[in-house]
């Protein structure tokens, strides 16, 4: 089996875009489509299955036809609860999947080799977790997680109250995988109206370079 066949794509949409109206970040429109649609489009070809980590009424995501995985443990602040829920989802519903590749919903330009390079790095280094980096920054939740670590991650979050992903990662062997940030950062994330405008400009530039196809 290939790495793709063993991997769940887990899109994390746990944050509210307070600087853009307070809705789910993944539902904010980018080039006329929800940002979540862009993330799905980038990640779907790289994985065996997709799931969406999100809380609240799942009906608002019905159009995407994805399993909706709420945080577990519930009411735990931060994306680590979403990662844990995604790993548990694999264990319960897709036991053949050994890893989950997590990506924030507000990251619409994820690279086409995101999952492949993370797997390659973890094998080459003997690491347990592989994490993306670009432009001198580490993107702690754009990462590859083994399903087998769900229990350890849950204990760190629920029992020890370690909510920062960066802090939890220090407990494991981690491979850092660097991507170039030119002509644009593939892990650019949209947090504010000016970021949305920049993302629109990136898409226009990509469309022009490809003769109109984004």
Cα separations in angstroms, 186 against 65, 112, 202:
25, 10, 10
Q: What is the pLDDT of residue 13?
A: 92
Indicate the pLDDT class of residue 91, thresholds 50, 70 and 90.
very high
Position 60 in a domain = yes
Which of 38-42, 55-59, 161-165 has maximum average pLDDT?
Answer: 38-42
- Of the ranges 16-20, 79-83, 148-152, which one carries the lowest mean pLDDT score? 16-20
User: Domain span at residue 176?
Assistant: 4-209
Two structure tokens written together for 194: 């000016």
- Quick one: how far is CA 7 from the chain centroid? 13
Stretch 134-155: mean pLDDT: 96
Q: What is the bridge-based pairing of β-strands 129-134 and 137-146?
A: antiparallel
Residue 16 has pLDDT above 70, yes or no: no
Q: Of 167, 122, 170, whose CA–CA distance to 143 is shortest? A: 122
Cis ω on the peptide bond leading into residue 73 (within 30° of 0)? yes
Two structure tokens written together for 7: 């991997």
Q: What is the pLDDT of residue 208?
A: 63
* Length reported for the chain: 214
Residue 214 has pLDDT above 60, yes or no: no
Residue 34 has pLDDT above 90, yes or no: yes
Structural contact between residues 94 and 87, judged by C-beta atoms closer than 8 angstroms: no
Q: Cα–Cα distance between 9 and 125 in angstroms, integer?
A: 22
Position 214 in a domain = no
Structural contact between residues 115 and 47, judged by C-beta atoms closer than 8 angstroms: yes
Position 108 in a domain = yes
Position 77 in a domain = yes
Give me the CATH number covering residue 147.
3.90.550.10
Position 155 in a domain = yes
Position 152 in a domain = yes
Q: What is the pLDDT of residue 22?
A: 63
| DSSP track, 78-103 | STHHHHHHHHHHHHHH-TT--EEEEE
Number of domains within the chain:
1
Two structure tokens written together for 166: 């960066």
Position 115 in a domain = yes
């Amino acid at each position: 089996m290939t790495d793709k066949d063993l991997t769940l794509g887990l899109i994390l949409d746990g944050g509210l875009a307070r600087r853009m109206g307070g809705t789910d970040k993944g539902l904010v429109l980018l080039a006329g489509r929800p940002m979540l649609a862009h993330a799905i489009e980038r990640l779907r070809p790289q994985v065996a299955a997709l799931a969406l980590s999100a809380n609240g009424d799942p009906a608002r995501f019905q159009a995407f036809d994805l399993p909706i995985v709420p945080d577990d443990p519930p009411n735990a602040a931060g994306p680590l609860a979403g990662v844990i829920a995604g790993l548990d989802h694999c264990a319960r519903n897709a036991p053949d999947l050994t890893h989950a590749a997590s990506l924030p919903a507000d990251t619409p330009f994820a690279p086409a080799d995101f999952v492949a390079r993370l797997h390659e790095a973890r094998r080459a280094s003997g690491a347990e977790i592989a994490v993306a980096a670009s432009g001198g920054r580490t993107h702690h939740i754009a990462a590859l997680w083994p399903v087998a670590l769900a229990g350890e991650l849950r204990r760190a979050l629920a029992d020890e109250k370690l909510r920062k992903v960066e802090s939890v990662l220090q407990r494991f062997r981690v491979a850092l995988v660097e991507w170039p940030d030119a002509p644009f950062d593939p892990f650019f994330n949209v947090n504010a109206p000016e970021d949305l405008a920049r993302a629109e400009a990136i898409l226009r530039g990509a469309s022009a370079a490809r003769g109109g196809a984004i």
